[in-house]
Structure 1
């Protein structure tokens, strides 16, 4: 019957590790600082907890010439090894290892490895813990000689390194969850447009690790069936930009309630932002859509012009007088009015949709103008096409896109039509 001998190592950091007297079967575990640093550097290369465990067991197995695995709290089926590297047959039963680790966790005994006679199968348990936080146990086993003190000292270092990165990964996930909820709150559904307008909105953060930013879209109902469409971009990324974005958005809703023309809304937004020195500058584009008159009035504050897509799916940019970004206090915003019919789709967007690093902005906008939207049947399809054709999933900046289209009026009863 195979016997396992367990040692639970608590390193005596004050005592130097000496390789004197280490038997030949120590497999060359080095106590040189450079070699130890190299081994530690191979653990925790990502913020993925499972990847860190795999890196730990790979390094532990390589350093000891045995098999390594991580053991954590089991489910109803009982404890099970994770991230096994090597031959699983050389590991002790998971239930035995769990019991041994639990017993050792309550013991104040010496950390000297248990002496093993020839023919036995040794195993060592090392706590996966740091700063009072435990994340399981590193289990190592092999068919050969018992684990030596230099080996267990090195395993303890590797385990502590892994535990530190696991703690960091979990903290990152926790904060990301909070930030994600904040982002959803900050980018809550904008105000509902009038029923005579179809609107679709999409937000894309710059990368998988960036959850909040300063890009935003808004719609505000006005009198007489008109709707204000807004897209803005606060300088920078992260929570600070998101907080300022919320301030701009709140101010816009308040100012827009006075039913001012777009250029005067921008002027008041600029006055409000410039009075707060800590407020980050922002670009903004406002479009007031009037379905009754079939027209759109535009005003911009340092923002890219919108595109209009016709019934054939051809895109063209609408010229807009460019004023300074919000928060500069310079003012000087001017309106421009264009015809808009139900066959056309208005597309407002932030620069992340089109810009490429090192490319002239005119080239970037021209790439949008060359996109064929013929297959897009609705406003959601228009956004999907723009994001796909411009590869927005790999954008270098945050992306916010708003598409709007007038709804055709149903003919009134008795209404006379020209033929």
Structure 2
């Protein structure tokens, strides 16, 4: 590793070394292709004598150089320098805002990845003051400040059917309201998400699968709030959509939407996790696993897979079925989130986890809700991998368990 990476030149007050300037110019005028490290060195010198020409290039080269290194503290150093350089750009400089945003985002990410969470949070607070509030909401959620996160998200999401809030914003907002104990408000926000999904499905502008996942989550939320009638209606609406999928498949082209399924699954597992605190942060369940979670919480969360695997093995050996069911589901949720974000996703790598969840639940005769949840979990996964007939069979059984032997008529909304 080159320790000279730690040497910053921005803001030097000493007289510029003219020999260094000449060497930098000669280097840049050479015929060979320069490495990012060489360009950084040259631009550092030249940015002091010609900032308008070389500060933008220095920002770009510093960011490019960071991609070549895997040492967290060097990332912090390079991005700190890139941010300082970006802030020196003239207000009219081309692409100034884009460079500033990239440097700020990269610096904040590097601080969290290096375990410097307090500094990272301070940077998120600075960004929020400038209107970029999303990262601060995530950090607040990770540290258990769910009411504050909900207020921040709600203050920007707006109200009414015509507001521009994205699906992801609504999911995060509802998640934080729910975590803060504001169930009714969470349901109102999630209902907006479901209504938007219905409009998209009815216009054949959005996949039915995404609405199925939203309805399944909505039904679970309604059940937790004691709103039985709404829970049954949402579940049967999802069942009707699954019937359509099993008969004819998706009516519209479906892109990679599995992140939505995995995010909602992860959110459903939050009650089984310990409470997040500033001293022991957890992922912001409801945020996208890679575009939302902070790198330190993401790393810790996935690092716990090995521990949970050992714990499930011990619980199997001890015969503690209730404890095994809970722990095995926590493990399955982690595997699903890692599977979805891995890039290469063979179905067989994950399906055994859902199959085991159902098998374990069938051994538990006390509460039919345990088996219903395991079946619904597997059904939503099967939708994700486009096995709609099997998904329908699982969800039909789950619905019968929850509704009784004579379920109400199936209601479809699309």
TM band (smaller chain): under 0.3
More helix by proportion, 1 or 2? 2
Q: Which has the larger radius of gyration?
A: 1
Output the TM-score relative to the length of structure 2: 0.26
Instruction: Give me the TM-score of the superposition, normalised by structure 1.
Output: 0.25
Q: Which has the higher contact order (CA 8 A, sep 6+)?
A: 1
